[in-house]
Amino acid sequence: MPLLSVNIDHVATLRQARYRSAGDFGEPDAVRAFHEAELGGADGITVHLREDRRHITDRDVELLRALVRTKFNLEMAATDEMVATAARVKPHTAMLVPEGRNEVTTEGGLDVAGQLPRMKDVVARLHAAGCIASAFIDADDRQVDAAKAAGFDVCEVHTGPYASAFLTHGGDLRVPALVAEVTKVWRAGARIRGLGMRFNAGHALNYHNVGLIARAPGVAELHIGHAIVSRAIYTGLRSATREMVNAMQAGQHADLPPALASEGKP
């Protein structure tokens, strides 16, 4: 079964909605949230330090790096400022993502192929700082191949299109359009692994759609945040994390349609 890294950005989103200038005293404190997630079974903690600091702050990153007892994953734009931050903080994994000031959350994968020289430079600097370098990319062969050329260690496949198809078709695997989206993710994962990189996945995964991605052959890690934080409002973060682990485990045993059953075979 893949590992689960819990993204706690939206704990900070709730804090910043009320305490934009309260320094260390706003609540809920994202730094405290990591502990509950770890107790619930999280194998790692993810945060995205945005250029505008709209939710996670530098203080959060510094404290989390010191306190997290599992794996600390820092999502970041490929800017000089963020590379310098990663070099100082030294997260276990630095994941490069595209970033737009007007987006609510990251939408779409990083265009590694379109900026390959820059990506090579950033990856080299992250490696020099002792960080594993990860790229958040679409399920596209061109981007997978470019990530390998840039020197990335990990590719996280963007599962947003799959999640959208799952919602549109009610999770009905008799619908070819949904099977096609699952297949894209699985095949991108196979290409990533074939090139010697680690295959992770994430974006818009929830308790209903996670099973088919957790079942993807060779997927090493899932990054899930909003669904867990949302459920935690009702159940608590520890229980919400445990329930996601259970949902991932259930996905390992669910029956697959013939079109997918053959995808996982060598």
pLDDT at residue 29 is higher than 90: yes
pLDDT at residue 239 is higher than 80: yes
pLDDT at residue 159 is higher than 60: yes
What is the pLDDT confidence band of residue 106, given thresholds at 50, 70 and 90? low
Please confirm, yes or no, whether 48 is among the known catalytic residues. yes
Is residue 44 a contact partner of residue 79, using CB atoms and an 8 Å limit? no
Identified catalytic residue from 36, 75, 156, 181: 75
Structure tokens at 255: 């029956």
The mean pLDDT of 231-252, rounded to a whole number, is 95
Type of residue at 120:
K
Structure tokens at 124: 């080299």
Which of 161-175, 191-205, 235-249, 252-266 bottoms out in mean pLDDT, i.e. has the lowest? 252-266
Q: Which long-range contacts (CB under 8 A, 24 or more apart) does 218-222 make?
A: 218/189, 218/190, 218/193, 219/2, 219/189, 220/2, 220/3, 220/154, 221/2, 221/3, 221/4, 221/5, 221/43, 221/44, 221/156, 222/2, 222/3, 222/4, 222/5, 222/248
Reduce the secondary structure of 72-133 to three states and give it as a string: EEEEECCCHHHHHHHHHHCCCEEEECCCCCCCCCCCCCCCCHHHHHHHHHHHHHHHHCCCEE
What is the pLDDT confidence band of residue 101, given thresholds at 50, 70 and 90? low
pLDDT per position as a tens digit, 124-140: 999 999 999 999 999 99
How high is the pLDDT of residue 44? Answer: 98
pLDDT at residue 103 is higher than 60: no
pLDDT per position as a tens digit, 52-66: 999 999 999 999 999
Average pLDDT in the chain: 94
pLDDT at residue 231 is higher than 90: yes
The mean pLDDT of 19-37, rounded to a whole number, is 83
Please confirm, yes or no, whether 127 is among the known catalytic residues. no
Residue 151 CA to residue 234 CA, distance in Å, equals 42
pLDDT at residue 197 is higher than 90: yes
Residue 77 CA to residue 202 CA, distance in Å, equals 17
Q: How many residues does the chain have?
A: 266
How high is the pLDDT of residue 264? Answer: 67
How high is the pLDDT of residue 70? Answer: 98
Identified catalytic residue from 10, 48, 55, 223: 48
How high is the pLDDT of residue 108? Answer: 86
- What is the percent of the chain with per-residue pLDDT over 90, rounded to a whole number? 85
| Separation of CA 128 from chain center | 23
Identified catalytic residue from 10, 55, 158, 203: 203
Is residue 4 a contact partner of residue 41, using CB atoms and an 8 Å limit? yes
Please confirm, yes or no, whether 223 is among the known catalytic residues. no
Residue 155 CA to residue 92 CA, distance in Å, equals 15
* Fold exhibited by the domain 3-187+203-260: TIM Barrel (3.20.20)
